[in-house]
Structure 1
């Protein structure tokens, strides 16, 4: 059983539940006055403690989220197959079954509840078409979602092959773009099958 929050942690947690933008509207000194801490670094320490214990997380805009249930700092995300950063590889969907689990800190991720953890998984990059953002053998963290914008690095399955590409849709027709200027753009025909799996949220370098 986890250790209960101390008095100052509880007060700060309640302030954040009431107003998650409180660190923007009040100074650290003013927050400290409300929770019984008389120096700014003490407030920073308490925020860090709440974050490390899984009570709060920063979202993609740096605003604190109060989580429904505490989330442990380390979560074991599934590693699912390979995603090809190249155009000339054929792979069966049978290759993207779960292989192992990768421990990774959750506080860097846009997670609002324990249920959100199931929306993420790792895959391993193969090929060089997304260099310099993604290199061969990098671990790529994907968030499951069925929609992607042109600015998203997208994990998709193209004719049975999982790939990481930029995806542009025009009048129902897809074009796949790479970062590597030496890799050809793929203009797909209506006969091509494309299924969006998710978008890239983080890359862990293998180098």
Structure 2
């Protein structure tokens, strides 16, 4: 309260105005305003805004508490544009412009290393792990460990799918997390290649 009082006195002196003039201009009652100037009462947000508008200053120049940032807010200093792939055209590279549907801005500090892109999950084969229509962040890499979820390109159809990888001998299985769906066998008759590892997903509410 003492700091607010000192700030108000300083602003009033610099503007050369009395409390009565401030009261008339801001519609704050003389008694209430006098409490702020004496440091015996705190102004609410509405009156702080009125005073800030009158003196043409920031609200924090009246009440410095308004300049304190909450501990749970992390400032975003830099963002990166991550491509969202749509239908995947034939040939390489996978991140060619014709494959990109849009770009999504992400905080740089929150991203893993490597080349990244997004795929949109379609269908329910990976429920409950990945809901339908989720945006899944993928790190570009040619292989993943068994049991990890990968973005896989089915080369005959140029369709990208998200599945959990399982290998038995020389055969690779694309495993759905939803037991209602059957695994896809990757072999010479159904070729596929891993595009990258699924890192995380986000869903719109």
Instruction: Sort the TM-score into its range (normalised by shorter chain).
Output: 0.5 to 0.7
Query: Which sections of structure 2, spanning at least 5 residues, go unmatched?
Result: 1-70, 92-97
Please state if 1:123 is matched with 2:119: yes
Determine the structure 2 residue equivalent to 1:77: 82
**Higher Cα Rg: structure 1 or 2?**
2
Q: Aligned residue pairs: how many?
A: 126
Determine the structure 2 residue equivalent to 1:141: 137
Shift of 1:171: 2.5
Flag the structure with higher strand content: 1
Match of 2:189 among 172, 181, 191: 191
Counting only pairs closer than 5 Å after superposition, residues 25-104 of structure 1 correspond to structure 2 as 53=77, 72=78, 74-81=79-86, 93=90, 97-104=99-106
The answer to whether the 8 Å contact 2:147/2:166 transfers is no
The higher-RCO structure (CA 8 Å, 6+ apart) is 1
Describe the shift of the 1:92–1:182 C-alpha distance in structure 2 as closer, same or farther (beyond 3 A). Answer: farther
Shift of 1:109: 2.1
Distance in 2, matches of 1:187 and 1:76, equals 34
Match of 1:135, SS state, is coil
Distance in 1, matches of 2:147 and 2:86, equals 24
Match of 1:126, SS state, is coil
Distance in 2, matches of 1:173 and 1:135, equals 27
TM-score, length-normalised on structure 2?
Answer: 0.54
Query: Which sections of structure 1, spanning at least 5 residues, go unmatched?
Result: 1-44, 54-71, 83-90
Determine the structure 1 residue equivalent to 2:107: 105
Shift of 1:92: 6.4
Match of 1:167, SS state, is strand
